Structure 1
Amino acid sequence: MAGAPGLTPRPDPVPAAVRAWAGWSWRALVILAALAVGLWLLSVLKVIVVPVAVAVLLTVLLSPLVAALRKHVRLPRAAAAGTALVLMLALVGGLLTLAGRSVVNGIAELGEQARAGVEQLMDWLAAGPLQLDTADLDGYLEQLQDAAASSGQQIASGALSVGVTVGHVVAGALIAVFCTLFFLIDGRGIWAWVVGLLPRGSRERVHQAGRRGWVTLGAYTRTQILVAAVDAAGIGIGAAFLQLPLVMPLAVLVFFGSFIPFVGAIVTGSIAVLVALVTQGWGSALIMLAIVLVVQQLEGHVLQPFLMGHAVSLHPVAVLLAVATGSLVAGIVGALFAVPIAAVLNTVVLYLHGHDKFPQLGTDDHVPIRAKGHPVLDRAVAAAAEAESEARAVRGGSGGVTLPAAGDPPVTS
């Protein structure tokens, strides 16, 4: 019996290092299992989760406009939120309408040029270094046609799945619009309710971490719009210089594709190179490829390190790995949301471990908020200052960050 007089306790045969590694191992397995369950739940509820995430990004983007409408036009919060949302939908709809008209007007010409390009390719295969026989080429084309005809059932099932996907997209768009409207109108009450679900002792730290995460998310969103606009302008101007068809659709496609850092602009830029190849040949395609590479170098060596690095405090390698991981886990949606999620988690975890990225925010309502340095962060923190001053007025000027029933969201204004 251990501890009895005259008896020496038997030493533990398992080394201390092995016990430590075993302890870390089972804890890591539990964490991975919890993450797997969380990802599975997200995949099941993606029709709800993705629109809500889009609504959060739109709320961050439109909050300064709502604040400006309330301050300069003297609109009530609900009217300002509705006006900002309508203006955003009108802008997006206008861009898509212009792109759609350009596609309708140029698709016939592009189709003819594509057929001519295919014929030139067939002639090159027959007369070029490969010296393929015309009969062999015709046989390959017949095999392709037979394969397409035999896959009619698969095409029908694919069309059905596309119809279901379109229904999900429409439902998700409606959810995103309504959530954005209510986040802009009553985001503070929603945030106060969420924080109020937590134990009383942790509410203050979660509230402060959320404020900082909101500033980071706002800085990321505005900076990414600037980066996407530069990419779209560069590739669009290059396509217009080469007098390619479908310049407006290509620019719009590059703009939206650039919201996936690094990868999006490369993929959409390759479409511009393909259009140049089909319509004008190898010379224009090479020039368009050079333009795309120059734009990518500008983004990779100037915009991403300086603008995005200051906005989210993530190394470009971390950004690239986050995009790769997100695309592996959830496809395009994962690649789109990987960087903002990683940036917010980085800010929140740093704050919870005592490394505050935004000491200007403070924890006291009476501490004035100042920001110097990056212009995007300056605007985001200034929006936080306005939100805090309005919160003081609502609470009657009481000091300290409190969470009453109608408290504040992180930093929305």
Structure 2
Amino acid sequence: MRIQNAFRAGLIGSLGVGLGLVLMTAVHSLATVLTYIFIALFLSLGLDPAVKWLMSKKFPQWAAILTVVIAVVGGVVAILFTVVPMMVDQIVTLWNTLPKEITSLKTTDWIAFIQKQFGSFIDVNQVITDVGHFFGDPANISKIAGGALAVGVGVANALTGTLVVVILTLYFTASLQTIKNTAYSLVPLSKREKFIEMSEEITGGVGKYVVGQIALAALNGILAFIVLNLIGGKQALLFAFLAFLFALIPLIGTVMSSIIVTLGQLLLADAQVAIIIGIYFLIYMQVEAYVFSPKIMNKAISIPGSIVVIAALAGGTLMGILGALVAIPIAASIVLIIKEVVIPAQNEA
């Protein structure tokens, strides 16, 4: 009998381990699909406040959802047919003029200053000459172009993924309340009211966070574009898009975008333009931290600053930029659950 029990226990244990391995393999194989679903659900929570706002203005639910869907589709189409062609044109222009721009750095005052200070350790002018020759050599350009095939495949995959995410986002936005109600029905009736209350608070806070982060990033990109045009900056649209893209990263995104834009203008324009745009970003970061961010994010979920830093670092390490973006609302949700569920349960015990 003992042998039978031991055999049965071993068999069940081995089946459990095998099932776990199968599930882990399946999750690994479906990682890309699961990522698309997660991003789409995250974005749909960001669109949900717009739907609720329209419903508060006496829109029927179907009309509010349809309005938001049309706005999103219209925005995506407008970007594809207006902004993207101009960005591609600026990228091509930048690529064609890059060797000349690099070589011309030798005539600038700030390079002469660096050469004077550090010339005994490194010949800065020679380094600039070698870099310019590298990008100007047709053989090297051919090598880069050969590697561009892999980049092209990556871009195609990114476009396909973006299309899938947009479609899923629209679907989740249209059926978000149905998905919520289905999830709520799986909770025991005795705990359902509290579960619904916390879920609505979490999803509402996440939605406001997504809207706030995108709004701050868009503001950063638009203002950078305006300032670059006013001061005669080069490739304004391209660098404004980079400013928007990096500003999506919590905490350090605006700092990274300011460094990239400033260095880019130092290379392509001149030191004066770089200094002006650098000063602008220093002022903007202060205004964003003390004016824009509190006003835009005041209704979003909030957590202590130390947890924000830890969550962003952990999310960035695990999933890159996307992980850093979503880690903060996830951490805030965990903090809320601990405050509302775990601590009261411990106090009752």
Same fold (TM over 0.5): yes
Residue 334 of structure 1 deviates from its aligned partner by: 0.8
Say if 2:171 is the partner of 1:186.
Answer: no
| 2:73 pairs with 1:85 | no
1:236 corresponds, among 225, 250, 275, to: 225
Indicate conservation of the 8 Å contact 1:82/1:181, yes or no.
no
- Give the Cα–Cα distance (whole angstroms) in 1 for the partners of residues 170 and 300 of structure 2: 26
State the alpha-carbon separation in 2 of the partners of residues 39 and 300 from structure 1.
Answer: 42
Q: Does residue 119 in structure 1 map to residue 103 in structure 2? A: yes
Structure 1 residues 342 and 39: alpha-carbon distance in aligned structure 2, compared to 1, 3 A threshold: farther
Structure 1 match to 2:40? 55
TM superposition shift of 1:210: 0.7
Residue pairs, 1:67-82, within 5 angstroms: 67=52, 77=62, 80-82=64-66
Secondary structure at the aligned position of 1:277 is classed as helix
TM-aligned CA distance change 1:350 to 1:93, over 3 Å: farther
SS for the counterpart of 2:300 is helix
* CA apart distance, 1:276: 1.6
2: distance between equivalents of 1:245 and 1:144? 20
Matched, 1:280 2:264: no
**SS state of the match for residue 353, structure 1?**
helix
After superposition, residues 92-171 of structure 1 pair within 5 angstroms as 92-107=76-91, 110-111=94-95, 114-122=98-106, 128-129=115-116, 130=119, 132=123, 159-160=149-150, 163=153, 165-166=154-155, 168-171=157-160
Distance 1:162 1:115, change over 3 A: closer
- Aligned counterpart for 1:324 among listed residues 285, 310, 313: 313
In the alignment, the residues of structure 1 paired with residue 253 and residue 79 of structure 2 have an alpha-carbon distance, to the nearest angstrom, of: 19
CA distance 1:40–1:311, change in 2 (3 Å): farther
Any idea what the Cα deviations from partners look like across 1:95-117, whole Å, max 9, x if unmatched?
A: 45443343355456545654333
Native 8 Å contact 2:98 2:135 kept in 1: no
Whether the 8 Å contact between 2:315 and 2:326 is mirrored in structure 1 is yes
Query: Which residue number in structure 2 is paired with residue 259 of structure 1?
Result: 248
Q: Is the 8 A contact 1:70 1:80 kept in 2?
A: yes
Q: How big is the shift at 1:44?
A: 4.8
| Equivalent residue number for residue 13 of structure 2 | none
User: Quick one: distance in 2 between partners of 1:96 and 1:102?
Assistant: 10
Q: For the residues of structure 1 that align with 2:216 and 2:131, how far apart are their CA atoms?
A: 44
> How much has 1:84 moved relative to structure 2?
1.8
Q: Which amino acid aligns with 2:68?
A: A
| Equivalent-residue separation in structure 1 for 2:74 and 2:308 (angstroms) | 31
CA shift in 2, pair 1:42/1:305, >3 Å: farther
Quote how far apart the aligned CAs of 1:133 are.
10
Indicate how the Cα distance of structure 1 residues 161 and 87 shifts in structure 2: closer, same or farther if over 3 A, else same: same
Alignment equivalent of 2:328, drawn from 336, 339, 360: 339
| Aligned pairs (5 A) from 1:283-302 | 283-302=272-291
Question: Larger relative CO (CA 8 A, sep 6+): 1 or 2?
Answer: 1
Higher helix share: 2
Give unpaired runs (5+ residues) of structure 1. 1-37, 356-413
Looking at structure 2, the residues matched to 72 and 208 of structure 1 have their Cα atoms a distance apart, in angstroms, of 23
Give TM-score, length-normalised by structure 1. Answer: 0.62
Mapped partners of 1:306, 1:71: distance in 2: 21
Who is 2:203 aligned against? 214
Bigger shift: 254-263 or 109-118?
109-118
AA aligned to 1:56 is L
In structure 2, list runs of 5 or more residues that go unmatched.
1-22, 345-349
Contact 1:309 1:315 survives alignment (8 Å)? no
Aligned residue for 1:332, secondary structure, equals helix
Q: CA deviation at 1:286?
A: 1.6
- Cα offset, 1:192, TM superposition: 2.7
After TM superposition, the structure 1 stretch with the greater mean CA deviation from structure 2, 325-334 or 186-195, is 186-195
Aligned to 1:368: none
TM, length-normalised to structure 2 = 0.72
Matched position secondary structure for 2:233: coil
Q: Percent identity?
A: 23
Q: Which residue of 2 aligns with 1:395?
A: none
TM-superposition CA deviations, 1:307-327 (whole Å, max 9, x none): 536622223333232222111
- Return the offset for 1:277: 1.0
2:10 is aligned to: none
* RMSD after superposition: 4.1
Amino acid in the other structure paired with 2:284? V
